[in-house]
Structure 1
């Protein structure tokens, strides 16, 4: 959680587009894009093989020999390499254009022999940085493009390496694509649940003592929830589109699993919506508590002022310049032996009487 005097900086969401009038399918690399590296995973029911820092020659040599090929491209700086991957797997050029122009809305597009899925995953929770990940899959291949290192795919890789029976090595490319997409969706649960715990902690603190820094934290959390909402809703629509369409490279048995991923996305949306509602309520409660505390302070100050008003009047009267010897009406009590304690006693009686009156009126 950010400190009260620290403003969290967010990585801006930059959407790079080709120049106006450029030919459709034009690929232009972001100058800040990372160097492209390939990781090739070859899968069959009996065995698997992983090649780190793979080359195009290795891809061509193994592509036709294995039932399922998963190519993971990390970094989008090498445009010729991305174009060559598109040529090998016959990927649509408009989809490849969306791969390098990061910041796309989550969606699903279907082409003749493959599907194209754009997702967003949380790349850095503390910096609130999102990363686009593109997934192509067809009858016997899955190709993923991500902007930089780091992804939620390690559990999938471990499942591929597990001993038989192994559904990831026997159910085909569409099931592998499901596993990868499901991992992306499920990666949202930990940060959203952690944010919920932070919200609960702020609520407990507010009920004890509201502070100014809590308002900043609440606004930051609500802004985070709005960003998540903008990501999760189109992700849900994309998953629903993936389930509804009838294409030969997505088997009916796999759609059942995609439907489970859709349920996960709906659950995430519910969590975010509940957090937004709770944050809105906490912001309103913070304003109410702050206003009530201010009203209490003003009330106490007003009561103290009212108590001292008659005392100030009495002191002011006795503090005037009188000459008792010139007239019997000229404050003769100034000559009284017990005049000073009598004056103090009178002021005490007035103060106590006012306090008793305020309590009788239930103002205290």
Structure 2
């Protein structure tokens, strides 16, 4: 238990409920600040929305509710035994996300699902005594599964530890910006002004990187399986696309995307392809930094060579693409100045989730 609760009550069951209620209240405060649109837009680089995170919390609580009722937790969560036993948390969470869409018709249905499951779980927890909380998980779970932790730990991992873990990610999503196609760019910007902002935001990324330990590049990950390293290489891949574009080359092809993927507008799918492709640069923190710095250096040199008038030319002046007639500055800004600060909160939330 957290230090502030030590000695506050005499039994773990009462302390547990106090912490659950406190963390749940923090989650509700966040939910009450959301607009209807913020439930579904924007999303993070893996395509997760705030709504996805809220329903994810509900699904894992539903699993614990089933467990405490001596039911098959896996079946109750809509998972196959094979997937559960694979321990592939990313795959499990994606199946849960797909299944949970039935509750995502509106903010009201999302809240109803979340509140209903939480209310049921809290009622069950309130009936448990200290001895039951300290029983082994195996006392409740169907035979054939060795899981040497106490029920108390299972409950906490899916409630008191789970809420703040996702709260940080949801806040980062709400604070994130839009894509280059829909962004609100300045009416005009000079090359020198763009470079000043470019360098300022890049310095913020470098300051974040400088604080990382080697282990934090790959662990922990978010609910979709993205690590800090994935986010850094994601930034590099989108910058590499702009490098290709400013060289009058096919941006999609340079990024390893098929024409069908590119024109689909499905950024979640594109980002997953980029993440897989970028693994070749993920052997170590040094190779990640080398990739990021090399692409950034090339792009900066290209921007430096652009005139103020060049920034106002349409995207098609560099490479013709249907429905892309915005000024080239939008593409540059959307993949650098606006992109870096979008990912820093997500990466920080990943780091904080492991502390």
Structure with the greater alpha carbon radius of gyration: 1
Scaled by the length of structure 2, the TM-score of the pair is: 0.27
Q: Which has the higher contact order (CA 8 A, sep 6+)?
A: 2
Instruction: Report the structure, 1 or 2, having the larger helix content.
Output: 2
Scaled by the length of structure 1, the TM-score of the pair is: 0.26
